[in-house]
């Protein structure tokens, strides 16, 4: 059995829970405002911690402090870290969410906390978390809630959420909050 | 004892002519060999060759920032008037020699010097352009070159330039995209 198959099997019995909350993302202001209407739910298909290339998904943080830490991590101590910053919010209601901040869920998937913090940027093969995202994206799960590595690196705690485009089906939703009741962007 | 040689007439001149003829032969051989090396390198760096350095396996993917006009304008200095990216301009922006860049692109310096904006270089140079977009956030060429040479925690404490030299073009281009779009780490 391949690692992916083992994860797919474990996923069938892993506990899922609903998530109804407001999530946050921070972006450098210049790229964000360079086009008339930014695509706040743009899926680049680029690899990230919980997806190999080709998986359509977006990442948010659990609160502004975590989003700020995630944003600042790549800039380090450079002056650029203090440039104008844009923050936007997503109101989400998702029924099938895999919560990796919960030990029971991690145990069901045979994941250790160390597996969640592994460096993925330069790996040649998909990491375990990327394989989990690949398996989760096959319609079983709408999102994965996971500990923020940027917060951990700062000696703090926080969480992020990766939301899979194909996993968000009504009545689930993701709404980017705007000045009125009408969302700036929404899934589905 | 002196190492100085003098060329006279007669036998010496005949020997010199013979040596020059041999030199011409060798020069032609070297040129043919260089052409073959160029050809082999081109095949080796073809995108469908697994294990080759540079952007592995899949063809170049678009960036989420490709449609953003200001982002595209931020690297207009890397392009020639015809719109093609230029290896000479990329090398200058990165603060590296053209030979160094040619080596990373798996080309000879001669080939890159001759046509620095060749169509065959565009896919590879596209990754260098995507990395240079970080100048949107890190203003100024000097700051960019400093950033390229500074170790980064998320890159196993390697400087971006070292990773570019090792052929981690896609990883670095994605890293910059994530930086500019605020994707969690």
**C-alpha dist (Å) from residue A11 to A79, A105, A128, A137, B44:** 43, 9, 13, 11, 40
So what's the pLDDT on residue B58? 45
So what's the pLDDT on residue B182? 82
Q: Go through A124-147 and write b for each residue having 16 or more CB atoms within 10 A of its CB, e for each that does not.
A: eebbbbbbbbbbbbeebbbbbbbb
Least confident of A37-51, A107-121, B18-32: B18-32
Q: Which residues of A touch B154 (CB under 8 A)?
A: 73-74, 119, 121
Q: Is A55 in a helix, a strand, or coil?
A: coil
Structural domain includes residue B61: no
B54 or A15: whose pLDDT is higher?
A15
Distance CA B185, CA B172 (A): 14
Using one digit for the tens of pLDDT, what is the confidence trace for B67-82? 556 666 778 899 999 9
Domain tally for chain B?
2
Q: How many CA atoms lie within 13 A of A103 on its CB side?
A: 0
Find out whether A99 and A162 touch, Cβ atoms under 8 Å: no
Please tell me whether residues B92 and B30 are part of one structural domain: no
Confidence of residue B64 (pLDDT cuts 50, 70, 90): low
Partner-chain contact A31 B153, CB within 8 Å: no
So what's the pLDDT on residue B184? 85
So what's the pLDDT on residue B74? 75
Please tell me whether residues B101 and B161 are part of one structural domain: yes
Please say if the pLDDT value at position B185 is more than 60: yes
Interface of B with A (CB under 8 A): 56, 58, 61, 63-65, 67-71, 136-139, 143, 147, 150, 152-156, 163, 168, 171, 174-175, 177-185
Q: Which residues of B touch A49 (CB under 8 A)?
A: 184-185
What is the domain extent for residue B83?
69-181
Structural domain includes residue B31: yes
Please tell me whether residues B133 and B165 are part of one structural domain: yes
Please tell me whether residues B29 and B93 are part of one structural domain: no
Please tell me whether residues B29 and B111 are part of one structural domain: no
Find out whether A65 and A158 touch, Cβ atoms under 8 Å: yes
**Structure-block tokens of residue A32:** 């964000």
| Dihedral, A124, A126, A128, A130 alpha carbons, nearest 10 | 130
Structural domain includes residue B43: yes
Give the DSSP per-residue string, A131-153. HHHHHHTTTT-SEEEEE-HHHHH
So what's the pLDDT on residue B23? 76
Please tell me whether residues B144 and B105 are part of one structural domain: yes
So what's the pLDDT on residue B53? 43
Structural domain includes residue B26: yes
| Single pTM value for the model | 0.78
Span B53-63, mean pLDDT? Answer: 51
CA A56, A61, A66 angle in degrees (round to 5)?
Answer: 145
- Test mutation, A46, A84, A87, chain B, max B CBs within 10 A: A46
Q: Which residue has the tokens 């060329």?
A: B7
Least confident of A30-39, B51-60, B91-100, B143-152: B51-60
Please tell me whether residues B83 and B155 are part of one structural domain: yes
Structural domain includes residue B4: no
Using one digit for the tens of pLDDT, what is the confidence trace for B1-43? 444 444 444 567 777 777 777 777 776 666 556 555 554 444 4
Beta bridge partners of A186: A175
Give the DSSP per-residue string, B39-98. HHHHHHTSTT-TT-SSS-SSPPPPPTTTT-HHHHHTTGGGB-TTS-B-HHHHHHHHT--H
Structural domain includes residue B122: yes
Using one digit for the tens of pLDDT, what is the confidence trace for B102-136? 999 999 999 999 999 999 999 999 999 999 988 88
- Test mutation, A32, A121, A159, chain B, max B CBs within 10 A: A121
Please tell me whether residues B81 and B168 are part of one structural domain: yes
B39 or A21: whose pLDDT is higher?
A21
Distance CA B159, CA A155 (A): 24
């Amino acid at each position: 059995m391949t690692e992916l198959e083992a994860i797919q099997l474990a996923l069938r019995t892993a506990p899922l829970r609903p998530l109804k909350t407001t999530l946050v993302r921070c972006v450098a202001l210049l790229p964000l405002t360079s086009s008339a209407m930014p695509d706040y739910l743009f899926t680049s298909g680029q690899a990230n911690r919980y997806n190999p290339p080709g998986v359509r998904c977006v990442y948010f943080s659990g609160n502004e402090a975590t989003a700020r830490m995630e944003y600042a991590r790549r800039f380090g101590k450079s002056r650029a870290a203090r440039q104008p910053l844009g923050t936007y919010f997503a109101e989400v209601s998702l029924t099938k969410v895999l919560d990796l901040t919960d030990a029971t869920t991690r145990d069901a998937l045979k994941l250790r906390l160390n597996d969640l913090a592994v460096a993925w940027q330069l790996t040649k093969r998909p990491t375990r978390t990327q394989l989990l995202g690949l398996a989760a994206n096959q319609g079983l799960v709408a999102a994965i809630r996971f500990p923020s590595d940027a917060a951990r690196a700062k000696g703090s705690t926080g969480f992020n959420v990766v939301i899979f485009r194909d996993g968000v089906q009504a009545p689930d939703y993701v709404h980017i909050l705007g000045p009125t009741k009408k969302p700036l962007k929404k899934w589905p | 004892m002196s190492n100085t040689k003098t060329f006279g007439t007669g036998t010496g001149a005949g020997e010199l002519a013979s040596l020059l003829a041999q030199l011409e032969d060798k020069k032609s051989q070297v040129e043919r060999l260089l052409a073959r090396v160029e050809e082999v390198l081109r095949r080796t760096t073809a995108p469908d060759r697994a294990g080759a350095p540079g952007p592995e396996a899949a063809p170049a993917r678009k960036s989420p920032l490709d449609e953003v006009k200001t982002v595209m304008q931020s690297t207009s200095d890397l392009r020639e008037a015809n719109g093609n990216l230029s290896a000479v301009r990329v090398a200058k922006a990165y603060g590296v020699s053209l030979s160094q860049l040619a080596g990373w692109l798996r080309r000879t310096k001669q080939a890159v010097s001759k046509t620095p904006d060749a169509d065959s270089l565009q896919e590879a140079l596209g990754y260098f352009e995507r990395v240079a977009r970080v100048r949107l956030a890190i203003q100024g060429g000097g700051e960019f070159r400093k950033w390229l040479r500074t170790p980064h925690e998320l890159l196993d404490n390697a400087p971006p330039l070292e990773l570019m030299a090792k052929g981690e073009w896609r990883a670095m281009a994605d890293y910059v995209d994530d930086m500019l779009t605020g994707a969690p780490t």
